[in-house]
């Protein structure tokens, strides 16, 4: 398989907004299975196309590629192909380096609840470069006319959203629903997902009411603890636009491992 096939697969990856790790031989000295520039594309499930050498070497690269997909961090792998008894992945006699680059699906903010705050979050998240989806069980609050600017619309109940939308480690869920009863009914399936962030709007009292209802349903406390609620950074925000800034600031903090502290010492 030549690299042209890899490039075609990368183009398809972009169309589907999926993830994979591109593994490229960047250095090769002595006798090695593949030359510099050889590529392999590894998918999250371990499937792959292309090759960087086959055998134990390739098996190790695939495992490392899956690690990179989970962490989002690139890595350079170095192998000596000489003595398997020392742990080397081959006996060719040379050395090889493979660069593993995670190509991640675009981060997506999913706004659940198309009211005033939801619309403001959609606008700001899109401006910040996120892909954005809107979901609301009320169709009149989930369409391009009522909430302009989103990439996708899911007019379904919150509890059925995970059946219609693939929630990944690159998904940020922003729940701006109309009440605790809606949250308690819809959150359990989302709490089971791999979402990078789950935030729920409302006061501390509203969240405590939701927590009690979730516990009554048998939802594990560890799952409940994943939720950011009240969500956002404390800005004393009042308007929908100000609240959206607070919410997106917290999402950026979580995504980029920030502290949320003022930078002025």
What is the average pLDDT value for the chain, to the nearest integer? 90
Give all domains of the chain, ordered by start, each with its CATH number.
Answer: 3-103 (no CATH), 108-256 (3.40.50.720)
At residue 244 the predicted structure's pLDDT band, cuts being 50, 70 and 90, is very high
The single-letter DSSP state of residue 105 is: P
Map tokens 């699906």 to a residue. Answer: 105
φ, ψ of residue 61 in degrees (nearest 5) = -65, -40
| Element holding 214 (H helix, E strand) | helix 204-216
**Residue 175 pLDDT greater than 70, yes or no:** yes
171 or 1, greater pLDDT: 171
Per-residue confidence (pLDDT) for residue 202, from 0 to 100: 93
Per-residue confidence (pLDDT) for residue 93, from 0 to 100: 61
Question: What does the pLDDT look like over 28-48, one tens digit per residue?
Answer: 886 666 788 989 999 999 999
Question: What does the pLDDT look like over 57-73, one tens digit per residue?
Answer: 888 999 999 999 988 89
Map tokens 């510099």 to a residue. Answer: 36
Cβ atoms of 211 and 183 closer than 8 Å = no
């Amino acid at each position: 398989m030549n690299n042209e096939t890899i490039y075609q697969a990368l183009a398809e990856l972009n169309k589907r907004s999926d993830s994979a790790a591109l593994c490229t031989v960047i250095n090769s000295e002595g006798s090695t299975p593949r030359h510099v520039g050889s590529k392999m594309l590894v998918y999250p499930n371990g499937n792959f196309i292309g090759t960087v050498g086959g055998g134990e070497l390739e098996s190790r690269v695939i495992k490392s590629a899956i690690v990179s997909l989970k962490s989002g961090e690139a890595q350079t792998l170095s192998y000596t192909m000489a003595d398997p008894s020392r742990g080397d992945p081959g006996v060719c006699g040379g050395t090889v380096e493979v660069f593993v680059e995670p190509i991640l699906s675009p981060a997506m903010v999913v706004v659940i609840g198309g009211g005033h705050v939801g619309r403001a979050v959609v606008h700001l998240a899109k401006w910040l470069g996120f892909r954005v989806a809107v979901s609301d069980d009320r169709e009149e609050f989930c369409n391009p006319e009522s909430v302009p600017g989103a990439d996708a619309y899911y007019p379904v109940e919150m509890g059925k959203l995970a059946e219609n939308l693939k929630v990944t480690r690159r998904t940020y869920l922003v729940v701006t629903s109309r009440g605790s009863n809606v949250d308690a009914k819809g959150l359990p399936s989302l709490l089971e997902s791999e979402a990078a962030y789950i935030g729920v709007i409302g006061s501390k009292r509203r969240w405590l009411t939701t927590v009690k209802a979730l516990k009554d349903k048998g939802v594990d406390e560890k799952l409940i603890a994943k939720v950011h609620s009240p969500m956002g950074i404390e800005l004393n925000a009042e308007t929908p636009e100000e609240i959206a800034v607070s919410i997106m600031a917290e999402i950026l903090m979580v995504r980029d491992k920030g502290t949320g502290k003022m930078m002025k010492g």
